[in-house]
Structure 1
């Protein structure tokens, strides 16, 4: 009797009417190799950003993401303004906002991934948005610093559920061949809101105060929930599997990750990139001041150039990277990040540092966009929440390690020498990955895993 079976075609899990015997035939090594070759050597026209946005459901999810992320930046900048300027908080008080913001992703990410795999993506995203809307309103009436920290922690905890649910939803709303472009569009949106959001927050805080930003943020979450409520997202139910603990399902997800070389590679390389970014971000202001002997204007310009490069890089990856194996793109991106950081380290003039910063932004997009895409392609839908959350948790911990260790490492070896060391490590990881990709191991697909 014919039914719906999850099977892997060229690195992507799909729901297709097949008999069990036909599904089994998909898993012969020769069949997989032929399908993978067809994926990368086919004559299909390149997918465009306009084509992806023609999917009404994905377009509504993208608009919801754009609006809510803009609101996030309004609220975050308003929080820093409230604590640092209005309440004259200490450096420790201000840094506490960052800790409260990032810690839930490290602590709750793995468990959130398990629950996202159990729940419906649409329901999870709507619930997360409504919780965040309520917490954003409470920010406007919080009276003490611990209350602010607790609410920020709660906002990020809800985001720890929303983000993997969104990762699960995207492959169910667009075609496999459109995934890279869809993720590139998401990356562009995220970095664009990083540029526009702070500027809007400055104007809004000056005109109406911080509370106005919190209320606007709450409204953006309600808008996002309303948009997502219009989506129809079909994911095959997991069936009547025996009840398992969260730890057991988390362990199953970790075993899946460990058994897939391509996924392990993108996690390792992305961790290297995030660790390097943490070291870079924590020290770049001091580098501009002490090495380039420039001021805040130069610092702002350099950071903006990195963001602009990432937006442009996401477009270039989505437009021209569709026929390039994902692992190879990631490896080249890691090498490019090394080149960018090395260029900044050797720069004696601001103009050279700005050019290197553009390279760094372009290369960062070549790491993050195909990494996300490969996870979605090579992970069965019933496990994607866990794999995505594991990915996010790992890079969050790497970011914290980079930021917290940057000052001490720079005190030992100097900022410039530290940047040299970071660049050398990125070169080593990227070139090793590129060699693996050229040898073909980077696109190997493991055997089917029953969720």
Structure 2
């Protein structure tokens, strides 16, 4: 919750700063993509360090990195320099490259396997509540206070996060440090690939998570564009609120769906719903249809991501969790990089409406292609199969 409040007040500040300083969508995308590139480069090292080290230590060091990054953004505002903002984006992304894989690796250490779906849903709900509260707080502060005040709030939140992390207790097993170190040195980051080959369900789910990234990678640019189309700055906060509330509803509803549907059905159905949300944004000039599109997106993601995380956490061996989640984050950053630059170019050349139609067709095509591949290779995502001969869906 605390991390999310700091993160989202900072993100709204970033968008405001970019909107003031940079007129071109493509140039905005270029600046945002620099941080993603830094995360991609650091990903392999992060995976090794997380598997070799105690998760709490990694979380603490990443937390200190966040505090340093906020100082860079305060300098950017005081000097009006975009280069200080670039330093902020790089440092905050490097911190995230270590923080989030360590956090994802820690969850299975403190939660029983049968509770993972519930825990992932709760974890994402807390993140969503903080996103709604953070964006709403940022919107109010921008009306009454200065842009720098957003980053002072982020700084305070990150200090509290560091204090709470110090009190965190994760039982990683006494005497396991040397074993983790040997595991990390033995195969390093590249050892993830043969493990993925040995667990095809994990590999296929990993590829499936790339589908929503077409929307998520261009999310902030789309929000800025809709704000300009509707000539409304308040629409930004409404979009984040509708999407966030729908996400929370979805993460609760997925527990019901998981009792009725198989994992494969949940993933493929809600991947298709992401494409529906993209098509709905063709009517971006209409506030009701715009907010409905983001509500559909939020609900779909609230069902999709907790389900995918359970597949990763249950089926990938725990000894590889640090490297796997770092690899996943690195893959997402590469995808974000491609989507961000493509979206910036599309928005400058074609406009929002044409872009979302293209993205919608790509999402639907990818969903159909992956479904055919799973059928052809007979990949089953459920960990325990009562009847191996049964159909996937």
**TM-score when normalising by structure 2:** 0.80
Note closer, same or farther for the CA distance 1:286–1:128 as it changes in structure 2 (3 Å cut).
closer
**1:151 maps to 2:88:** yes
**1:225 maps to 2:165:** no
Say which of 328, 337, 348 aligns to 1:400: 337
Q: Deviations over 1:352-401 (max 9, x none)?
A: 55444432321122221111222111122221011111111112211221
Note the residue ranges of structure 1 that are not aligned, 5 or more in a row.
Answer: 1-65, 446-451
What is the aligned partner in structure 2 of residue 432 from structure 1?
Answer: 372
What is the aligned partner in structure 2 of residue 164 from structure 1?
Answer: 101
Note closer, same or farther for the CA distance 1:414–1:177 as it changes in structure 2 (3 Å cut).
same
**Greater helix proportion:** 2
Separation in 1, partners of 2:186, 2:212: 29
Q: SS where residue 272 of structure 1 aligns?
A: coil
Deviation at 1:264, TM superposition (A): 0.9
Separation in 2, partners of 1:297, 1:139: 22
Separation in 1, partners of 2:224, 2:151: 28
What is the aligned partner in structure 2 of residue 251 from structure 1?
Answer: 190
What is the aligned partner in structure 1 of residue 8 from structure 2?
Answer: 73
Deviation at 1:322, TM superposition (A): 5.7
Q: SS where residue 197 of structure 1 aligns?
A: helix
Note the residue ranges of structure 2 that are not aligned, 5 or more in a row.
Answer: 385-393
Separation in 2, partners of 1:259, 1:316: 32
What is the aligned partner in structure 1 of residue 37 from structure 2?
Answer: 103
Q: Deviations over 1:117-164 (max 9, x none)?
A: 111001111121123223323533454432332133112211211111
Q: Structure 1 residues 160-169 or 106-115, which shifts more?
A: 106-115
Separation in 1, partners of 2:197, 2:18: 43
What is the aligned partner in structure 1 of residue 115 from structure 2?
Answer: 178
- Counting matched residue pairs gives 374
Separation in 2, partners of 1:271, 1:332: 15
Note closer, same or farther for the CA distance 1:221–1:253 as it changes in structure 2 (3 Å cut).
same
Task: Determine which structure has more spread, i.e. the larger CA radius of gyration.
Answer: 1
Deviation at 1:271, TM superposition (A): 0.8
What is the aligned partner in structure 2 of residue 21 from structure 1?
Answer: none
What is the aligned partner in structure 2 of residue 272 from structure 1?
Answer: 211
Note closer, same or farther for the CA distance 1:428–1:288 as it changes in structure 2 (3 Å cut).
farther
What is the aligned partner in structure 2 of residue 112 from structure 1?
Answer: 46
Q: Is the 8 A contact 1:80 1:94 kept in 2?
A: no
Separation in 2, partners of 1:347, 1:147: 33
Q: Is the 8 A contact 2:54 2:177 kept in 1?
A: no
Separation in 1, partners of 2:140, 2:296: 31
C-alpha RMSD over aligned residues:
3.6
**TM-score when normalising by structure 1:** 0.71
Q: SS where residue 442 of structure 1 aligns?
A: coil
Q: Is the 8 A contact 1:333 1:365 kept in 2?
A: no
